[in-house]
Every structure is written in C-alpha cells, then in structure tokens.
Amino acid sequence: MSEELLGRARAWLAQDPDGQTRAELRELIERAEAGDTDAAADLDDRFRERLQFGTAGLRGALGAGSNRMNRVLVAQAAAGLAAYLLEKDAAAADADGDDDAAGPLVVVGYDGRRNSDVFARDSAELFAGAGLRVALLPRLLPTPVLAFAVRHLDAAAGVMVTASHNPPDDNGYKVYLGGHDDGSQIVPPADAAIAAHIERIAAEGDISALPRSVAYETAPESLVDAYVEATAQVAPAPAGAEGLTWVYTAMHGVGWETLSRIVERAGYPQPATVTAQLEPDGAFPTVSFPNPEEPGAMDLSFQTARAAGADLVIANDPDADRLAVAVPDREAEGGWRRLTGNQVGLLLGWRAARRAAEEGAAEGASLACSLVSSPALEAVAGHYGLDFHATLTGFKWISRAPGLVFGFEEALGYLVNPGTVRDKDGISAAVAILGIVAEARGRGATLDDLLAEFDGTFGAYASDQVSLRVDDVSTIGRIMSALRERHPSSLGGIEVERVDDLAAGLEGLPPTDALSLGLAGGSRAIVRPSGTEPKLKVYLDVRGDSHDDAAARVAALAQGVRDLLDDLAGR
C-alpha cells in the first residue's frame, strides 16, 4: 500500500470527530501497516476517490473515508455550501445594491436513518458558524416537508439528510435552492460551483478549524401545520370516502405521523397500519431493501390487507417522497398486485389534466415526466389541451417544466402540488390517490376499472423495466460502450429502427448518459445507468391494439433485453 494513501487516511483520522468511525479507521490503518492485504484494499476503496457532490447531492455508504458518508465529509459539504450561498448573496447584493444584513436562510431537515440527526446538527452548526441564518426542522420529518419549508420560509437553500430508499447502511445529503430556483433540487451549474467550494474546504485540511455556532433556530411547529393544511387541500374527501378500507406502511420511515394528520384533516378514514413498519427504524429490520419496488418489500402490507379485507394498500418509502399503490388481484400471488409507477402516474396526470380543463386553466398549463416514463402522459396532455414536457430523469428537471400542474417519473415519484412542494411528494400523492379511489368508489368503480377507462380513452400502453445489478460498476460502463459501438438489430423480435445517443443532448435536453432505441411499431427502449444504485436500467414502452396485446408485446421486449444484457455482461 502506498505511503501517500496511508498519509491521507492518517490525516482523515486526525480530524474525525466521530468516535465510531475513528476507531474503525484506526484499526484499518494498523492492520494495513502490519501487512494485511484485505485492510489495505479496504483503505484503498475508502480513500482512492472522493464521494462526488453532484445534482443528487451526496449519497453513499456510511463509514470512515473520503469515499463514504461520515461527519468529516458532511462538514466539508456544509462549509462548501455555506461558502457558495454567501458568495451568491454577495453577488446579488452588488448587483442590486441591497445588502441583506441578516444573511441567507438555510433550512435543514433529517429522516430516521443512522446518523441523519447527527449530520443535520453538524450542518446547522457549521452554517450558523459561517454567518448564515439557520432553521433546523423540529424533529425527523419527511423530505417533502423540507422541500415545502424552503418555499414557505423563503429560504435561500435547504438540506435534507436522507438516502431515501437506499440500503440501510447508506445515507445522503440532498440540496434545494430557493429564490429563482423556487425550492427545486440543484442543477448545473450550481452543483459544480458548490462542489468546487467543497473541494477547496477539503484541501485546506482540518474541519476542526471550521467555525461552528449553536445560534441556530428550531423551526416552529406551525411550519409542519402549514404543510399539513396545504396537503389536506390536495384532495378533500369526497362522498365515496365513507367505508373506504385501506392499509398503510411507512416502510420503517418517517411518513406516518405527518400522513395520519393529513388524512384526518382531509376527512378520510384512518388506515389499518403495518405496525411492524410504522415507526422510524434505520435498521429496516423487516425488509432486505427499504424500497417498495423491491420484491418482498410489501409482503407485510399484503398480509395486513388480506386480514383487513382492504380496498387498497398505500406505501411510502422511508423518507416519504415516493408512493406505491397496490390493489386486490385474485390472480396475483398473495392476492395483491402493486401498480407500476407509470400506472399511478398516468392516473394522477389524468386527474390533474381533467381538473385544469374543468377550471379553464389548461392554456399554458403542462404535464411533465422523465423521458424514461410512459409516453402516454403526452396523450393525456394533448387530449385536454395542455402542454407536455419530457425531461431528464429526476425531479430537479421535472419541477422546472414551464406551467407545471403535474409531473411524475416511473420510479414511484409524483409531483401533484407544485404550488407548495417543487419536488416529488409521496404524502400529497397518497392523498390524491385516496381522492381518486373514493370518487371511483362513489360510482361503484375500482382502480382497475379506471385503468381500463384510461386505455379506452387514450390508447393501450404498457411499460416494463429490466435492471442489471452489478458488483463492479465498471461493468455498466463497458455495456454502455458496447451498445454505442454496435447496437442490436432487434429486441424481442422487434426491429431496432433508430438509436439516439442522449449524451449529445438530444432534442434540447442537457447531455446525459443514456441511449434511446426506437423500435418498429412505435415501441422504445431507453438504456441508462442508475443515478443512485449500481444498476443498469432499461425502460420499455409499447402501445398495442388492446391491453392484452400491449402486455404481450412488452413482455417479449423485456425478455429480449434480458438476453442482450446477460450476453453483454458475460453471464
């Protein structure tokens, strides 16, 4: 092991304020110095690179080292963000001659993951020490409450400490900007500017030299009350809500306290709850992966729903910015079927477009979704005279669509209340779904009936996703390179007619590492690396003559993609 790398590890150890990661790192250094090759390899993984700050902020495994989430890395990130905000504020003051003596305001929130509260308080102290005004949310709360707070308090920025639905040993640092960014997540060039400040802080060395202060505020409960009130107004309970039986799980996250208040305020019956998953627990003991999309994650929900004779199941992910919905299905294993993110998104988009048209607000209004989400949303927008925007993946892009009244992405993310939260919000989406179900129930219909009505109105669309999870992320790069060099002539028996490399910034979109394969008959496959997990994802969309025809086409296409990925991965 190189002495240079050992020097980095020793320098990190000297500034680490956390007893646990300090002990972890000291043991690794001692073992590596004694010739332990496993320890040397571990140190190399931790210090050869640095966890990069980008448009998703920071996200990674907890542990000591520059390539892990820990108090040193978070302190550097907080100090770098503070420097960026002060620089931006000074430039604005020079431009308009109005110097805000109080300084910019930053709101900090945190969820129930391990060390989330520690990282949040470290950040608050460092922001305050740098001369910023700081409001720390009063307790662990959902990510949408933080996103709401940035706009509600007219803050310059917001930080949410969360890794959303990532594995239990991960944590993250998500940044929002106020002002002209209107409470959306950061996009270029802000991410690069913040990253440059973070790199400078890191290069200067010891974080113990950074000024700290406990002169920060705790945000009042009235802030949470305002979010509850605004979200309850998304869909006050209609007549069909009486007698509605539903199940809710928080997936060991922070959604329940807030959602239960909103449900009561909006007038819906309280759900039967998955008690084993209701309270925040960063160990996520009942699931192998705290993501409602993952196989088995909703098994306890289905068990509770069978016992309750429920009409539907609603699940939030651990920080409650995503929503999953399931319905009874006699043919499904266990008697329940989770709707896809596209199905839920299209129902919510249909609701939003119809309301805009009914209120005479369609002109200039728009629906938006990520380019890997169902193209059926464009058909909905056209039907009601709304504009439509396809964006890059991520709500940092969707939230910026002009005239937005609704946006979604197929990964269970929905923006249903853009006037208050400019990000995906699994709680307001849950209330909107309850409204849809209750309205349908009032006329004797179910969500499955609504999906059939959708097909009859807009056409039969079907979507699927094939994912390749890897241990070595370089495998993803090799597969993307291979596809760029020579794309397949067909997939699942469907001819590939066109290939667009989105790295070139196709159709006015910023460049992104993705390939779009246009297939015969209007089908498509979009290949892209995941932004948060070691996965390669392929998104499939077809339009058929009927529901069954579309389902058969997308199934054949999915099998063709699996065969291709297995071949390229050498499996």
Candidate list 66, 116, 123, 164, residue with the active-site label: 164
Q: Identify whether the C-beta of residue 107 lies closer than 8 Å to the C-beta of residue 137.
A: yes
CA-based nearest residue to 522, from 543, 539, 551: 543
CA-based nearest residue to 465, from 505, 391, 412, 407: 412
Kindly state the tokens that stand for 356.
Answer: 């805009």
CA-based nearest residue to 248, from 228, 227, 264: 264
CA-based nearest residue to 138, from 78, 216, 57: 216
Which distant-in-sequence residues (6+ apart) come within 8 Å of 24 by Cβ? 63, 64
SS3 content of the chain, % helix, strand, coil (to 5): 45, 20, 35
Which distant-in-sequence residues (6+ apart) come within 8 Å of 176 by Cβ? 146, 147, 150, 157, 158, 159, 160, 183, 184, 185, 186, 423
Q: Between vectors from CA 340 to CA 335 and to CA 342, what angle results, nearest 5°?
A: 155
Residue 301 bears catalytic tag: no
Question: What is the rounded (10 degree) CA torsion for 480, 481, 483, 487?
Answer: 160
Question: Helical H runs in 187-274?
Answer: 190-204, 221-232, 256-266
Backbone angles phi, psi at 294, to 5 degrees: -80, 145
- Cis-peptide into 189, omega within 30 deg: yes
Q: How far apart are CA 378 and CA 367, in angstroms?
A: 8
Q: Which residues are catalytic?
A: 164
